[in-house]
Structure 1
Amino acid sequence: MEKNTGGLPEKVLDWVLRQFSPTAAFDSAAQLKGSTSSTLFRISLWVENSTENYVIRLLDNQEWLEEEPDLAIHEAASLQVAEDAPVPTPEVIAIDETGIECGIPAVLMTMQDGAVDLKPSDMESWLNQLAESLVKIHQEAGDNMPYDYFPYNDPNTIEFPSWSRVPEYWKRAIKIVAGSRPPVKECFIHRDYHPANVLWKNGRVSGIVDWVNACKGPAGVDVAHCRWNLAILYGVDAANGFLQAYQRYASDFLYDPYWDLRTLIDILGGPPEVYAGWADFGVTGLTDDMMEERLDKYVVSLLE
């Protein structure tokens, strides 16, 4: 009988099975939706008379690997530190650091229960839980995290957003980011915290996933990254609602719009486009023009 591997390469499946007892057996596999920078598969195995689900990340983005060849090691280190934070996260099972076993670098981990929810029925509760979960991540100091925050774009050389209808605001933003950054107390940060990396079950956060970019850095980076995602998904009010919720849960957090501007500069590099993964989670009707308009409104709100 032919295996239902869902497109998972046979050599990858063989490697996965070798991580378990000889009695473990393959049940099924399917590619997970929503990921655009790597390929994710859910793998179901028979392990000691019960079905267990796992996730494997195949790091098949060659451009990304050329920039950061240790991505598998990075995610494994991130997940190990995340275990100490009071949030539900996957656990590392094994990594294929260089791809010698799987053909490409890979990270095998446990699967978190739940699903992405980008169409919440109660936006206020949803934003509150999104913020509360991030505060819990930031409670971890990250002293054992071997990776440190670094910005992605240099404001002195970044391509100016010619698509913008408010260029004077972007010029101000770039000038501010080119100046000195405010002093902060660093902590463990996710570095890619946004609604598509948060899982929900029965109206509650059930898991935080996609830790491959995690590092030690300013909490404001995570807050800002989530805020611009919310701004282009739902508008400035959602971004502000998230900030207000975060401040309620993290009473010692000192908000500085510098980090909002810093993360906006980090995503420049061509006209903004609708994130392809959103459609997989039921968000349709957005256009690239809307992304431009909402980013303009967001940068104006930050500077006014």
Structure 2
Amino acid sequence: MTNHDEVAAVRPLTLAWVSRHLEVGERIVRTEGLRGGITAEMRRLTIGTRDGGTRDLVLRTFVDPIYVERAEDWLNREAGALTLLAGTDVPAPGLVAVDTNAAHCEYPSLLMTHLAGRTVLDDEGLEARVPLLARQLVAVHALRPAKRPQEYVALTTADTVVVPRGADAAAWAAATDVIRNPAPPYQGRFLHRDFQPGNVLFDVPPPGLAGARITGVVDWAATSWGPPDLDVAHCSTNLALLHGPAWGLRFPDAYEEAGGVLAAAASERLYWRVRDGLACSEEVQVVARSWREAGRTELTTRVVEERLDAYVTALMNALG
């Protein structure tokens, strides 16, 4: 039976566009909003197949005017990345269709296959998941596309950093001074640019069975070319805020243990890690809200700010 109310939640032009990309005899029978997206609406579409079964697709739609103006670039990047990844061992969705400039849909949209698994943001089992994250990121950086994506862009500047209330003023001033300097030289690699636990899907078996495994990496809209340190730094910051500063400090070691190569000089490593930590200062409230919506209700804006302060201070003490 088709749930008409849920299907109607997909806007009419978009619904028609999706339907044109289904197999003959298929139809949308159910839709479900997915949590965790910050820049776009995410929906799982259940498709009724000709043989009476079902399969799932995922629809990404940029609706917020703040993000719509960048949607064409992001969707072009994601479509290119998904096309590239289809021939690799990196588990990623398959591209079905994309409408980068809303020529057919009400808003810019991308349709892709649905991957099994779920995001895992809990502290429990983190010790086992961190090496998996590190190995997966090494595999991403090992990709050698025939056509490089565009060079990374770092939007944060020393003037846009938001120092959390009650933060270690001396540590933050020193950290801000770090990013006043030019970026260190680097050997470019294929970057995800938002690799973090919220964009990695896991199959986590019941207690007593074999360990967790990664089933997918999603959200390739910021794919770039740049230093591996930048992806490592971003995942480190997210681990620090989700699970505590010590986990952010540990992730670069896990990446190297998995075979990844980071900048040789401590000052260069510090630059990338501090840059990402300070970038997060500008969006703590939005990030904390998305994590609470995903079930981490204890991660108030204040808690995340305190963890960010502790992490930045620890970076400056360890590497500064």
TM-score (norm 1): 0.92
Contact 2:99/2:109 (8 A) holds in 1: yes
Q: Distance in 1 between matches of 2:162 and 2:21?
A: 48
Query: Where has structure 1 moved over 6 Å in runs of 4 or more?
Result: none
Is 1:128 aligned to residue 131 of structure 2?
yes
Q: Distance in 2 between matches of 1:217 and 1:238?
A: 24
Q: Counterpart in 2 of 1:51?
A: 54
- 2:122 aligned counterpart, secondary structure: coil
Which of 247, 270, 276 is 1:238 aligned to? 247
- 1:27 aligned counterpart, secondary structure: strand
- 1:40 aligned counterpart, secondary structure: strand
Contact 2:240/2:311 (8 A) holds in 1: yes
112-121 vs 292-301, which deviates more?
Answer: 112-121
Q: Shift of residue 102 of structure 1?
A: 1.3
Q: Counterpart in 1 of 2:208?
A: none
44-53 vs 190-199, which deviates more?
Answer: 44-53
Contact 1:59/1:105 (8 A) holds in 2: yes
Contact 2:161/2:278 (8 A) holds in 1: no
Q: Counterpart in 2 of 1:283?
A: 296
Is 1:266 aligned to residue 279 of structure 2?
yes
Q: Distance in 1 between matches of 2:260 and 2:40?
A: 36
Q: Distance in 1 between matches of 2:286 and 2:103?
A: 35
Q: Counterpart in 2 of 1:213?
A: 222
TM-score (norm 2): 0.88
**Identity value in percent:** 28
82-91 vs 222-231, which deviates more?
Answer: 82-91
- 2:47 aligned counterpart, secondary structure: strand
Distance 1:179 1:112, change over 3 A: same
Q: Distance in 1 between matches of 2:8 and 2:121?
A: 25
Q: Shift of residue 145 of structure 1?
A: 3.1
- 1:70 aligned counterpart, secondary structure: helix
Q: Counterpart in 1 of 2:179?
A: 177
Contact 2:193/2:224 (8 A) holds in 1: yes
Q: Counterpart amino acid of 1:145?
A: R
Contact 2:281/2:308 (8 A) holds in 1: no
Q: Distance in 1 between matches of 2:256 and 2:288?
A: 28
- 2:179 aligned counterpart, secondary structure: helix
- Aligned pairs (5 A) from 1:6-155: 7-49=9-51, 50-67=53-70, 69-119=72-122, 121-155=124-158
Q: Shift of residue 150 of structure 1?
A: 1.0
Q: Counterpart amino acid of 1:248?
A: E
Q: Distance in 2 between matches of 1:235 and 1:11?
A: 44
The alignment covers a number of residue pairs equal to: 303
Q: Shift of residue 251 of structure 1?
A: 4.8
Q: Counterpart amino acid of 1:212?
A: A
- 1:93 aligned counterpart, secondary structure: strand
- 1:199 aligned counterpart, secondary structure: strand
Q: Counterpart in 1 of 2:259?
A: 250
Q: Shift of residue 137 of structure 1?
A: 0.6
Contact 2:233/2:272 (8 A) holds in 1: yes
Q: Shift of residue 13 of structure 1?
A: 1.8
Q: Distance in 1 between matches of 2:161 and 2:124?
A: 39
Q: Distance in 1 between matches of 2:27 and 2:152?
A: 40
Distance 1:279 1:265, change over 3 A: closer
Contact 1:8/1:30 (8 A) holds in 2: no
142-151 vs 122-131, which deviates more?
Answer: 142-151
Q: Shift of residue 20 of structure 1?
A: 2.3
Is 1:222 aligned to residue 231 of structure 2?
yes
Backbone CA RMSD of aligned residues:
2.1
Q: Deviations over 1:262-285 (max 9, x none)?
A: 112323337656522223332121
Contact 2:164/2:309 (8 A) holds in 1: no
Q: Give unmatched runs, 5+ long, in structure 2.
A: 206-211
Q: Shift of residue 164 of structure 1?
A: 4.3
Q: Distance in 1 between matches of 2:150 and 2:260?
A: 27
